[in-house]
Structure 1
């Protein structure tokens, strides 16, 4: 076997291989981190209070690669007011929230869950409409515009996510685990996506190495010979 590597091409190939392998390893590390988070024990919190009348809102959400609307209400625990979802509705058009002082009056809410940091607006967010109860921003400070000034000042800065929630799709309703009640708050990139990215980067590294060796073989710089040269 004889091999006469081309210096400049070899240098760029080695650097590129190192980068591709590093990217693959980083994505695989993220995969392991998110899998560990999903399997970790959660520290649940319990809230108990009454629904604030007229506080219902529909908030656009993106859940595990699917668009949905979530029905939110404000819960007065006596010490503070917490916004929490009560239903996930998988459909494109926003459902009409119940509006008016009679909506939610006298209803009690108690649930186990955890607090999540709200996700604010981005460049693709729609325009919030407090008048109709339709929001594209999941932020308690924004949802608080539905409440009287005295109650708005008592709104908790984070969103309470119950561990179970009502899911509605195509006219069917069921109670299931709340996909937002996770330690990992990243829903657009589940662990499996990172694993796929890792395979892609590693695959590109192997393809680059194959092209490098094939190019040298074509140029006569890489020869595989059996036996002695004598």
Structure 2
């Protein structure tokens, strides 16, 4: 039996190991980025909120803690969503329901949309628009983007499937609004709708499996090296009939 050729298996092994190591390194870098993001959120949760003003520079970072002082505008819209049940011990509404959006005019004239919180579908009919002066503390969020699986919005019914401030404001007849919306912090027990965001539960929900993924890719690279080494050793032990 002729001795197996090693050149092609060696080349394939080199390519495979390079790909697997690249994937592992990418997950390692993503882990650093994710942990930096989580640490920023934790710091934001403890820090004093940024005061929103039409005259001042607005923070550009998603999930910056901020506070708006002004009054709610008439009318509200909803964004359909589904929230998974929280971990044991968490107190939050979950299931199929809607985010409640309403216009909010700052004392100096700027208008921003406020996501007042989540309402289960079975309790949506009982929710009324907020009225009067208020101070809302929460987190600035960037508009969500649509994809090919996102259902079409129903602006005539003020019903949406993405949290898009511009589209929602148009349906509410508000006009120009800030490009970011304010996601209100949770007030009370978290079981009374609309229930705002609890940043600690939000942080706990952020997946951080990148180290596991990196070790998996690197482990596969080592396994591939081991397979090739065993194959090459076996090939060297075979007698060469032409020798």
TM-score where L is the length of structure 2: 0.67
Please say if residues 58 and 97 of structure 1, whose CA atoms lie closer than 8 Å, have aligned partners that are also in contact. no
Please say if residues 58 and 95 of structure 1, whose CA atoms lie closer than 8 Å, have aligned partners that are also in contact. no
Please say if residues 183 and 196 of structure 2, whose CA atoms lie closer than 8 Å, have aligned partners that are also in contact. no
Over the aligned positions, Cα root-mean-square deviation in angstroms equals 3.6
CA distance in 2, matches of 1:217, 1:27: 32
The CA deviation string for residues 82-128 of structure 1, in whole angstroms up to 9 with x for no partner, is: 11211224x6x6864679xxx43633331223322211211111111
Indicate which of 92, 117, 135 corresponds to 1:87: 117
Structure 2 counterparts to residues 135-214 of structure 1, below 5 A: 135-148=160-173, 151-153=174-176, 155-164=177-186, 177-178=198-199, 190-214=206-230
Report how far residue 35 of structure 1 moved. 0.9
Please list every run of 5 or more consecutive structure 2 residues that lacks an aligned counterpart in the other structure. Answer: 45-63, 86-93, 239-243
Report how far residue 75 of structure 1 moved. 1.0
Q: 1:31 to 1:104 in 2, by over 3 A?
A: same
Report how far residue 179 of structure 1 moved. 7.5
Instruction: Name which of structure 1's ranges 78-87 and 103-112 shifts more when overlaid on structure 2.
Output: 103-112
Q: 1:112 to 1:174 in 2, by over 3 A?
A: closer
Report how far residue 147 of structure 1 moved. 2.4
Q: 1:7 to 1:130 in 2, by over 3 A?
A: same
Please say if residues 186 and 196 of structure 2, whose CA atoms lie closer than 8 Å, have aligned partners that are also in contact. yes
The CA deviation string for residues 46-78 of structure 1, in whole angstroms up to 9 with x for no partner, is: 101222111x22213466899753122111114
Correspondence for 2:78: 58
The CA deviation string for residues 110-151 of structure 1, in whole angstroms up to 9 with x for no partner, is: 122332221121111111112322201211111012323xx3
Please say if residues 164 and 177 of structure 1, whose CA atoms lie closer than 8 Å, have aligned partners that are also in contact. yes
Describe the SS at the equivalent of 2:209: helix
CA distance in 1, matches of 2:12, 2:146: 41
Q: 1:192 to 1:5 in 2, by over 3 A?
A: farther
Describe the SS at the equivalent of 1:198: helix
Please say if residues 87 and 166 of structure 1, whose CA atoms lie closer than 8 Å, have aligned partners that are also in contact. no
CA distance in 2, matches of 1:39, 1:220: 53
CA distance in 1, matches of 2:10, 2:196: 58
Report how far residue 37 of structure 1 moved. 1.4
Please say if residues 185 and 196 of structure 2, whose CA atoms lie closer than 8 Å, have aligned partners that are also in contact. no
Please say if residues 136 and 184 of structure 2, whose CA atoms lie closer than 8 Å, have aligned partners that are also in contact. yes
TM-score where L is the length of structure 1: 0.70
Please list every run of 5 or more consecutive structure 1 residues that lacks an aligned counterpart in the other structure. Answer: 223-230
CA distance in 1, matches of 2:194, 2:130: 24
Higher helix proportion = 2
- What number of residue pairs does the alignment pair up? 203
Please say if residues 52 and 74 of structure 1, whose CA atoms lie closer than 8 Å, have aligned partners that are also in contact. yes
**Aligned structure 1 segments of 4 or more residues deviating by more than 6 angstroms:** 62-67, 166-169, 171-175, 179-182
Report how far residue 17 of structure 1 moved. 0.8
Higher strand proportion = 1
